[in-house]
Amino acid sequence: MPLHPRRRARTGRPVWVTLLFAVLLVSMLGVIGIGGTVWYLSRDLPDVETLHSHQPSLVTHVYADDGMTIGQFFVERRILTPLDEIPRELRQAIIAVEDARFMAHGGLDVLGIVRAFMINIEALRIRQGASTITQQLARSVFLTPERSYTRKIKEAVLAIHMEKTLSKDKILELYLNQIYFGHGAYGVASAAQTYFSKDISTLSAAESAFIAGLPKAPALYSPFRHPERSQRRLRHVLKRLHDEGFLTGAQYGEAISTPLKYRKREPEVIAPYFVDAVRQHLLSTYGESMVYKGGLHVQTTLNIADHQAAVLAVRNGLRSLDKQQGYRGPLNPEQADGFEASHDGILQAVVNKVDAKSAVVTAGDLTGTIALEDMLWAARRLIGPDVNEDSVLLKSPSADQILSAGNIVEVAVKTTSDENTQFTLEQTPLVEGALMAIDPKTGSIRAMVGGYDFNRSEYNRATSANRQPGSAFKPIIYTAALQAGMTPATILIDSPVVFQDWRPENYEKKFFGTVTLRDALVHSRNVATVKLLQTIGVRRVHELAQSMGITTMLDVYLSLALGSSSMTLEELTSAYGVFANQGIYVRPYSIESVRDSEGVVLEQHKHNPTPAISAETAYLITNILEDVIQHGTGRQAKVIPYPVAGKTGTTNDFTDGWFIGYSPRVVTGVWAGFDRIASLGDKISGARSALPIWIDFMKNIEPPTDEERFIPPDNIVFAQIDPETGFLAERGASDTKQEIFVQGSEPIEHTPQRVNPRDFFNLDHATP
């Protein structure tokens, strides 16, 4: 029976009063519950006052000597930009699509919350949010991105507090610099560079609209991954701008009809080995947080032109050297990783057909031929490794002996035209190498290549690999001898000798009798050098090497004369810098200055030149090492059209090849070898492995000026000597040689300039 409206409950009150009371009670309890929940969740919320001094994670930039960015370190790639430098169109687009009532609400958009709540109740899960710009900022700075009502309550409380504490402009500025825009870009300025390779001030209205549409789902709206979805999002943002009155009809029509040109800009590391060495220094000095979040500005010494020349020289040289090891054959199918060009222009190609004189190959969209002459190096495996290409040609191998149809091979484009593409057969080298170029006057590192490919191996062979330098160490032995009072005309005896069980030999497997000190170094006479070290003493060489910047512990045995002590390429290269810098040692360095995000200088390089040898000795050694280029083991370098000096180095079994040389402007060291010690091949000396790389580099960097030359000190004098005896030459003698001396050390009569061991007996003499 229906309840009569006037029927009373047992209490005597109308039923509707009781129901109203119950509703009010439940509502009050709900409010108390919600209030209690809000209070409970608000107890440990962060202080929004900190946003006044909020410093988001910033990018550390590394610059070359001309100010160009060569590397970046970051957790979040961000370029902090003041609000007044962000285009008005971009600000309007963000507001239109993310929070149209941003300027009116107090942190929460109540209408949006109600709408989202109803949608989520209907779906029985959280499908839509109603986060304002202020709420999104609160979540990004203070909270996690989890989807829960607990997080939403915290977010709302923080947003209200933020609106009371900060101005709308400050909130918008923080938001535009904080939010993630995809592909590693945080903040609008980084997004402008990432998607358009543009400074933010140059963005068009449509480009601004595109960027504004990204924060909702950066991965989903990426133009590089989802171009159609990205285009739909752009149209939506432009419509919102038009609906909110930010764009006129004409502006909207123009923006929506103009296609955008996306230019993906990933952070480029121009010199990865160099930049990584800088990173390691920064980490050890300033710590991980400062390096990856602090926005440091690091000015370095790297010269981009020199570095590019170094990379090409090392890659080309190692490819050529690797070919001397023989052809390893075509790639296995599992080795094939696509047909796009690699970082050094090498392509993978399929061999279509082969005849005696050429092979037809297809690499990606290119089809062309490899002529027999461009694959002859691979024929060495058919007739033996110790032959040159002319010898191969004489033995008449054919192309179909080298390649077969169906092979997958590596090629490089030699020439290309509309009619045909000519390829050369290539092979990714297993052999490794390194190059270091230093300004001898300042110690600044101008180029550093630590290996063939940083992506293949991050190990820096220029700074970290300790390898035996072989004869490249000999100039330090001869420098010690000159410092001890000998002269370039001093006679050494190159004859058989045995030290306990060790019998040193010359490269040529013969002895040369009496030789001048100059000729012994120019022609790298091993036995004469060992005897010289025995005479002057190991301790003297140790002390000299240390003063020249070699910090590695050196051998105490006479084998030190032949470069048996391992050291880094950086050490030996900087030591040669002493010869080029008139006897002054300057420590090599890569960082000119470090500034924090506010521009405060944290570190500034200070030069600390230290005399290591006399200017006269430095010039004598330089003059002898110039002779190495003109008449000795470095003769290939005569093609360099300006004054250079240097020395080759080769170790036992041809496992390491070195060349260290210099002009008045730059000292450059090159090493080549395998990471796991193995022979480069019979008779592949430093002159065949490292020297070609050195020449390639030195030919392609800026040459010294006419004023930059090896200038002799004032007290260097010349005298005619008899090279067979070291005597002052007889007047009218025909077989004489002009030699240089420090004034007062030149021979003044016809007596031999021989070593007298008793002059050096005050030193300790180590023996093998």
Catalytic residues, by residue number, are: 98, 471
Q: What letter represents residue 423's amino acid?
A: F
- Closest C-alpha among 648, 646, 647 to residue 664: 646
Is the distance from CB of 241 to CB of 92 less than 8 angstroms?
A: yes
As a whole number of angstroms, the distance between CA 354 and CA 401 comes to 9
Show Cβ contacts of residue 265 under 8 Å, excluding neighbours closer than 6 positions.
193, 194, 195, 197
Output the CA–CA distances (angstroms, integers) from residue 218 to 126, 182, 183, 223, 599, in the order listed. Answer: 20, 5, 8, 10, 32
Cα–Cα distance between 526 and 533 in angstroms, integer?
11
CB 660 within 8 A of CB 669: yes
E runs forming strands in 87-199: 185-186
Nearest to residue 738, comparing CAs of 721, 713, 714? 721
Rounded to 5 degrees, φ, ψ at 63 are -115, 145
Structure tokens at 214: 């990204």
Coil, helix or strand for 315? helix
Which residues make beta-bridge pairs with 69?
A: 63
Distance CA 344, CA 2 (A): 91
Which parts of 529-666 are beta strand (E)? 584-585, 591-595, 601-604, 610-611, 645-650, 656-662
Rounded Cα gap, residues 360 and 404, in angstroms: 10
Beta-strand runs (E) in 321-420? 347-354, 358-363, 366-371, 408-416
Residues 6+ positions from 492 with CB-CB distance below 8 Å: 514, 515, 516, 517, 520, 525, 528, 531, 532, 755
How far is CA 110 from each of CA 113, 131, 156, 498, rounded to the nearest angstrom?
Answer: 5, 10, 11, 97
**Which residue bears the tokens 């402007």?**
665
Tokens of 521: 């170094």
Strand partners, 467: 567
Pairwise CA distance, residues 491 & 221, whole Å: 79
Strands 297-300 and 60-63: parallel
Strand partners, 411: 347, 425
Instruction: Please give the distance of CA 136 from its chain centroid, rounded to a whole number.
Output: 37
Q: Using alpha carbons, list the distances in angstroms from residue 4 to 12, 15, 746.
A: 14, 10, 137
